[in-house]
């Protein structure tokens, strides 16, 4: 007996979708892209695919001139190359699992220009062994995560060059500053972080100074390129800032139960969205709490709700929310106009 799931007719409206499901409002998505392009056109933006994990969405960005991409995992790199988007791919994360990417670099039948981030002798050795030919020196600029000390960047660059690698420049990530709400404070603190990165760039050489993200896409003016991805779809956490983007992604759910005590329950629980940045938001009222498969919601117009109604919740953290799903449905209101596979999931 086949284990394949039964086929369904192609959905035409959100009422046809099994829930929970991801829906992307096309008009808001397009507006977000236009707002970014007005500030970071072409290769001034290196879109970070970890945010949306979809080659269909990445292809849309490439069509707008953003032909270099940023990845967090080897799987994302492999997927971009397979989709014909391997013109200039940065693995902006240290990895010891690089042999699989070296195979792509050595394959003349595909375009796979891959650069890897390194921050230690061990990660330089991993690149040398893999066959990848170029690196960025990853510098720690205040976020307690990856990155070498800025004073060690030049030495690592020299070691990489002595092994025959191309050192294209430096990268850093001021992730600890993405959610600084006061704009003046954000600019000041980003400047202090980038002062370290620019100093390291002087020691390292190369043409690239890569940093930034959605929260600092316009306040980080020290870099040659910005690594932003969440701006495409946004989330309710980023929506708190003074950014020209809106939330395009919602988790669609179905009301499955109604309590006479005043709450409704939808099938959009913890397993359908990330909660590391807090509860989702809901335009229809308050989010009481989420459990594994359930969202308990408190609508002010409780008497108007029925089992079977649809709700759209705005997740607080877009990146890991998308990674929980197989696809996103692009919608114009309630009408479905496209489907994007979340084909860059996993590792």
Length of the chain measured in residues: 347
Model pLDDT for residues 123-137, shown as the tens digit of each residue: 999 999 999 999 999
pLDDT 10s digits, 105-116: 999 999 999 999
The dihedrals phi and psi of 127, each to the nearest 5 degrees, come to -65, -45
Per the DSSP assignment, residues forming a β-bridge with 270 are none
Are the C-beta atoms of 207 and 168 separated by less than 8 Å?
yes
Residue 309: is its pLDDT beyond 80? yes
Q: Candidates 3.40.250.10, 3.50.50.60, 3.30.70.3270, 3.20.20.10; correct CATH number of 41-227? A: 3.20.20.10
pLDDT of residue 9: 79
pLDDT at 3: 53
Q: How far apart are CA 313 and CA 60, in angstroms?
A: 25
> Is the peptide bond preceding residue 20 cis, with omega within 30 degrees of 0?
yes
Which run of H or E residues covers position 221?
none
User: Which of the four CATH numbers 2.40.37.20, 3.40.50.1860, 3.40.50.300, 3.40.50.970 does domain 14-21+245-341 have?
Assistant: 2.40.37.20
Q: Note whether 14-21+245-341 and 41-227 share their fold.
A: no
**Which residues partner with 266 through β-bridges?**
255, 295
The pLDDT score that the predictor gives to residue 181 is: 96
Q: Which residue has the tokens 């690089």?
A: 98
| Extents of the domains making up the chain | 14-21+245-341, 41-227
CB 170 within 8 A of CB 153: yes
User: For the CA atoms of the chain, what is the radius of gyration?
Assistant: 22
The CA–CA distances, whole Å, from 217 to 44, 63, 186, 244 equal: 10, 20, 11, 11
Phi, psi values for residue 5, rounded to 5°: -70, 150
- Residue 306 in tokens: 């029925």
Q: Is the pLDDT reported for residue 7 higher than 80?
A: no
Distance CA 193, CA 94 (A): 20
**Taking residues 273-278, what's their average pLDDT?**
96
pTM above 0.75, yes or no: yes
What average pLDDT score do residues 59-73 get? 98
Mean of pLDDT values over 23-51: 98
Cα 81 from Cα 20, distance rounded (Å): 30
* Pairing mode of beta strands 21-25, 249-258: antiparallel
Q: At 249, give phi and psi (nearest 5°).
A: -100, 130
> Would you state the pLDDT for residue 6?
64
For residue 4, is pLDDT > 70?
Answer: no
pLDDT digits (tens, 9 = 90+) for 212-260: 999 999 999 999 999 999 999 999 999 999 999 999 999 999 999 999 9
Mean pLDDT (the chain) is: 97
Burial of 191 (0-12, 13-18, 19+ CB in 10 A): middle
Q: Give the pLDDT mean for 184-197.
A: 97
Which tokens sit at 19? 């829930």
């Amino acid at each position: 007996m086949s284990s394949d799931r039964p086929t369904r007719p192609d959905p035409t409206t959100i009422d046809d979708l099994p829930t929970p499901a991801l829906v992307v409002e096309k008009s808001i998505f397009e507006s977000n892209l236009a707002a970014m392009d007005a500030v970071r056109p072409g290769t001034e933006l290196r879109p970070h695919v970890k945010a949306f994990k979809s080659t269909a969405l990445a292809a849309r960005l490439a069509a707008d001139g953003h032909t270099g991409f940023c990845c967090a995992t080897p799987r994302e790199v492999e997927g971009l190359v397979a989709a014909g988007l391997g013109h200039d791919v940065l693995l902006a994360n240290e990895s010891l699992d690089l042999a699989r990417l070296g195979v792509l670099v050595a394959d003349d039948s595909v375009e796979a220009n891959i650069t890897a981030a390194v921050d230690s002798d061990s990660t330089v050795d991993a690149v040398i062994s893999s066959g990848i030919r170029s690196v960025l020196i990853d510098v720690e600029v205040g976020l307690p995560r990856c990155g070498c000390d800025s004073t060690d960047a030049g030495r690592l660059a020299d070691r990489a060059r002595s092994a025959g690698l191309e050192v294209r420049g430096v990268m850093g990530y001021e992730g600890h500053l993405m959610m600084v709400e006061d704009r003046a404070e954000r600019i000041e603190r980003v400047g202090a972080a980038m002062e370290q990165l620019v100093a390291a760039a002087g020691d390292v050489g190369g043409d690239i100074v890569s940093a930034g993200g959605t929260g600092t896409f316009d306040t980080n003016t020290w870099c040659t390129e910005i690594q932003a991805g969440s701006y495409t779809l946004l989330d309710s956490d980023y929506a708190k800032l003074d950014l020209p983007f809106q939330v395009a992604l919602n988790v669609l759910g179905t009301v499955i139960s109604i309590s006479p005590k005043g709450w409704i329950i939808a099938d959009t629980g913890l397993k359908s969205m990330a909660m590391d940045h807090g509860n989702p938001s809901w335009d229809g009222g308050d989010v009481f709490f989420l459990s594994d498969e359930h969202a308990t919601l408190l609508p002010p117009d409780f008497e108007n709700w029925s089992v079977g109604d649809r709700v759209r919740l705005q997740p607080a953290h877009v990146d890991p929310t998308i990674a929980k799903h197989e696809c996103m449905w692009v919608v114009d209101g309630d009408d479905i106009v496209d489907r994007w596979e979340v084909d860059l999931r996993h590792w």
